Copies of this chain bind each other. A is one copy, B any other.
Amino acid sequence: MTDLPSTVEIREEGPREGFQIEPGPIPTDRKVALVDALSATGLHHIQVCSFVSPKLVPGWADAEAVVAGFAPRPGVTYTALWFNAAGLNRALAFKDRLKVEGAVTVVASEAFSLKNLNRDRAKNLEAQRANVAAHLAAGVAVPRISVQAAFGCNYSGDVPPAKVVEALADAFAIGAEQGLTLREATLADTMGWATPARIERVLGEVRARWPDLSLILHLHDTRGLGIANAHAGLRLGVSRFDTTVGGLGGCPFAGQPGAPGNIATEELVLLCEEMGIATGIDLEALVEAGRLAEDVVGRTLPSTMLRSGTLARFRQAA
């Protein structure tokens, strides 16, 4: 009946997602402190910053200082996000600290492409062609596709699964032109439209077309269904998820200020561990990192476990 994975890879994006949307300013050393706390939790993947225009995303004007400042921990892969050659070059300056890999970013909604990337889907494909070429010229691998707005869009409403397939096909076409093997794809519920049924439908259609494509789910908990959606993904054998500690984040261009952010890392870890799926993460340390994140951003984060504590704590006391 289910195809549960035996282990999951949790890709922590709290620093990158969180600090891009918080009003701030947040001192650089506090951002570094959060990355260091996350490094000590057993997480194996941490996205530490965004190399984007400081005009568009002032919260990441200090990206270089954050990357230079954290203490890399053996066994942890640190990544960053960027969308163009300029961002790539900033990342490459830190290739001793960051795993530098590119992605082909496509959008399943024309309206969101205009809002978030400031160009329509056709223009974005042109930009992605140039972006891939820049990566290859710099000797940087591009193994992944990222599909934004894969489950719905605040500007265009429901996104048919066929649009996700079309966006992926566009990305594969760009890859084929340049001799790339795209092995993995992130399906992002950027604006929180996913439901378990929609996860099943979209994953079903994508897998029917590309059965060997490794899928990553990037979920937001915009309307309370985030963990139910992750569970639907787990049941379908998805073993890689993007999350944020404390539920940090939210998209600055999604048109719903105040909406909750990504699914909380600690809630997904709890779900997995209680289902017998190993994460390798110390949940108690992660909850403490979430509380630190609240202190750093100066507000209460949406994660419920920061209020309630872990089950382990109650089990020990029982």
Contact = CB atoms under 8 A, between A and B. Distances in A.
A126 interface: no
A227 to B, nearest CB: 5
A284 to B, nearest CB: 13
B225 A153 contact: no
A298 interface: no
A311 B267 contact: no
Given A156-B318, A260-B308, A304-B302, A274 B195 contact: yes
B231 A304 contact: no
A314 B275 contact: no
A158 interface: yes
Interface residues of A, number: 49
Interface string A304-318: 110111010011011
Given A231-B231, A274-B197, A275-B196, A223 B318 contact: no
A193 interface: yes
A267 B157 CA distance: 19
Given A1-B1, A224-B266, 19 more contacts: A154-B314, A154-B318, A155-B317, A196-B231, A197-B274, A222-B304, A223-B267, A223-B305, A224-B264, A224-B270, A224-B303, A225-B267, A227-B228, A228-B228, A228-B230, A231-B232, A258-B307, A259-B304, A302-B304
15 contacts: A153-B314, A193-B311, A195-B271, A195-B274, A223-B267, A224-B264, A224-B305, A225-B227, A227-B227, A227-B228, A228-B230, A228-B231, A256-B309, A258-B307, A260-B304
